Amino acid sequence: MNLPNLLTLTRVLLIPVFVILILNKSFGWAIITFGIAGITDGIDGLIARLTHQRTELGAYFDPIADKLLLTSAFIILAISDSVPAWLTVIVITRDMVILIGILVMFLTNYRPKIKPSILSKLTTVFQILTILVVLIDAHYAMIRLIPAIVPAIAIFVTAVFTVLSGFHYIYVGAHMLNGKK
């Protein structure tokens, strides 16, 4: 267990804390908790690359931690009517498509290297930023810290990137399975 994997584990352990904070409408603490979790997502990969501490465990654990964090966040925020349910469905559907694709590859004895695309990384960044924007908007609604249009734009951009990323993974996976790549 190295530092990047410990940061990933920290992200997973922050998930129930975040959910409880949202349920208790403690948006200020939820922003801080989710912000820390989001930062660990970027830092763990950076440290792993810079210090040559990439591990097979980290290659699988990091995207799983991301999916758990983001899925939990979108579900709890959809339940509390902070994000549209359709966005949550898009996010979860994309993640299910990716997981089913990996499962199919394993079942066909193809062992793909787990390496997220640039589009996938951007999608994760937009999803994290959207959650933060929505939380900030909910917490500071009375003083309008951010213009009302910002959450709507963030939601739209996240939806577009999530869909594009999902189709990209389908395209890449199909080519891998067909032996074209």
Per residue in 156-168, pLDDT (tens digit) is 999 999 999 999 9
Given a contact cutoff of 8 angstroms between Cβ atoms, the answer to whether 36 and 21 are in contact is no
Confidence of residue 180 (pLDDT cuts 50, 70, 90): low
Across residues 96-113, what is the average pLDDT? 85
- Tell me the residue type at 88: T
Give 148: exposed, middle or buried? Use CB within 10 Å, 0-12, 13-18, 19+: exposed
At the topology level of CATH, where does 3-177 sit? Four Helix Bundle (Hemerythrin (Met), subunit A) (1.20.120)
Over residues 1-57, the pLDDT tens digits come to 789 899 999 999 999 999 999 999 999 999 999 999 999 988 988 898 889 888 878
Q: What percent of the chain has pLDDT over 70?
A: 98
Q: Is the pLDDT of residue 61 over 50?
A: yes
Cα of 74 vs its chain's centroid, Å? 9
Q: How far apart are CA 51 and CA 108, in angstroms?
A: 34
Q: How far apart are CA 167 and CA 53, in angstroms?
A: 31
**Domain segments of the chain as ranges:** 3-177
Q: Is the pLDDT of residue 71 over 50?
A: yes
Note if the pTM is more than 0.85: yes
